[in-house]
Structure 1
Amino acid sequence: MPADKEDVSVNASPIEILVKPEVSGVKNEQLIQTRRAQICDAALELFLEKGIASTTIRDICARSGVNQASIYDYIENKNDILRRLLNQLWFRPDVPTLPERLEAFGDADFEDILTSYFRDTWRIKRKGTLLAYRSIPHLQSDDRKAMRAHDTRLITLLARHLRERTGLPADDKRPEIVANLIIFLTAFGPMRDWVQRDIDEELMAGTIAAGVTAMLEHLKAQGEPPST
């Protein structure tokens, strides 16, 4: 299957690493889901407009239409809303990670896989990316640890694929450096779109993918790192 196939759900696995508290003030499950969706949609808009610290529960109630007296029947607090949004938008299962794509399309051109990955994550996970980076100072300690553990695991898996492609030895740390850079570049489109809105998305994704591919080709040709 070509790497730029529109179906991006291949090998995607649901990841919900931020623990959500049980809130059971209402027994009607359909009503719970409807109200939580209203609350989370309103909170996301406000978090991205005003910032997380500046957004109050009162603001969220006013934007969502959910009464302030009943909102705690559906969520525990603002941190609970943030967790639910990150699970929904940042850890969303319909956008495979780069290691998952490399596993599924290993024989495809690496640059094509990268281009598809950047395009899909920038386009589909844009709000999740913006929220994730803005939320770090506001996360609870356990949530911050879980986010770090998730990224560490992702970098480790990606570095393993890069090491296989370059033939670099296990004690060479350069694949981890490049893997970390790729994860950082995943946020490049959404975080910098305020200065590059006039640049074609496909051109930008292809250019960055070409740069990363050239970097790996250089490491592969260089072989063992020069001694220091």
Structure 2
Amino acid sequence: MASGRKNIPSLVKDQKLVEKRREQIVEAAVELFISKGFHKTTTREIARASGFSIGTLYEYIESKEDVLYLVCDAIHTEVEKKMEEAMVESRTGAETLRHAIKGLFKVMDEVDDKVLLIYQEIKSLPSEPMQYVLRREEHITQVFERMLQKGIDDGSLQLDPESVKLMAHNIVVFGEMWTFRRWALRKHYTLDQYVEMQTSLLLNEFKPIKK
């Protein structure tokens, strides 16, 4: 279990069955939350879309907020998995970074509705689960911090170490921009064009440190 992950009680003791049923709930809830919004979606609608009765649904979760938490957790897991698949360990930190930027932007394109859902609805979570979801977001940024530091260490990136954290956030925000401003960006750029232009912009910002 990830550090700080909420333990959602279940009346069902078979953990494999719990995971399977919760996957069904998440899949159904994502579609409903995207189309109707969290607040306008009822637990009865989630149960029906999951193929359960309302009573069966409550054997696996305690509230609609639990469903939103499971949705956010599942989306972050999907993003992290796709990033890991996309990242090719190359000879230098700069090369690894280039692969990872492309991977992140591609993932954002594939799960754009889900990423938008997290940012629109996370405020509806109670404090502790919300902090956990935000830590999952921070974890993605930390992946880029490690790559940037690797580039500094092997000499392939000339970057002030104090700028690493901010630059990692810049990369993630550039990826998320493809989701948040898709209504404008996709009128003018393909995903490949966006990846190439933003990667060039990011890498061009890695200037030698002035002595």
Q: 1:87 aligns with which of 73, 78, 88?
A: 73
Secondary structure at the aligned position of 1:53 is classed as coil
After TM superposition, the score normalised by the length of structure 1 is 0.72
Q: 2:27 aligns with which of 37, 41, 54?
A: 41
Alignment length (residue pairs): 203
**Match of residue 20 from structure 1:** 7
- Distance, in Å, in 1 between the alignment partners of 2:54 and 2:74 is 23
Change (3 A) 1:196 1:17: farther
Tell whether 2:190 aligns with 1:205.
no
Q: 2:108 aligns with which of 112, 122, 145?
A: 122
Q: 2:125 aligns with which of 100, 121, 139?
A: 139
**Match of residue 42 from structure 2:** 56
Q: Give 1 or 2: higher helix fraction.
A: 2
What's the CA shift for 1:117?
A: 1.8
What's the CA shift for 1:16?
A: 7.5
**Match of residue 188 from structure 1:** 177
What's the CA shift for 1:34?
A: 4.7
**Match of residue 90 from structure 2:** 105
- The one-letter code of the counterpart of 1:194 is W
Identity of aligned residues (%): 20
Tell whether 2:160 aligns with 1:166.
no
Tell me, yes or no, if the aligned pair for 1:86 and 1:132 is still in contact at 8 Å.
yes
After TM superposition, the score normalised by the length of structure 2 is 0.77
What's the CA shift for 1:50?
A: 1.6
- Distance, in Å, in 1 between the alignment partners of 2:204 and 2:97 is 9
What's the CA shift for 1:87?
A: 2.1
- Distance, in Å, in 1 between the alignment partners of 2:139 and 2:22 is 30
**Match of residue 11 from structure 1:** none
Secondary structure at the aligned position of 1:94 is classed as helix
What's the CA shift for 1:73?
A: 1.0
What's the CA shift for 1:160?
A: 4.6
- Distance, in Å, in 1 between the alignment partners of 2:60 and 2:119 is 25
What's the CA shift for 1:168?
A: 4.0
Tell me, yes or no, if the aligned pair for 2:44 and 2:54 is still in contact at 8 Å.
yes
- The one-letter code of the counterpart of 2:147 is H
What's the CA shift for 1:78?
A: 1.3
Tell me, yes or no, if the aligned pair for 1:114 and 1:209 is still in contact at 8 Å.
no
Structure 1, unaligned stretches of length 5 or more? 1-13
Tell me, yes or no, if the aligned pair for 2:75 and 2:114 is still in contact at 8 Å.
yes
- The one-letter code of the counterpart of 1:183 is V
What's the CA shift for 1:72?
A: 0.4
Q: Greater RCO between the two (CA within 8 Å, min separation 6)?
A: 1
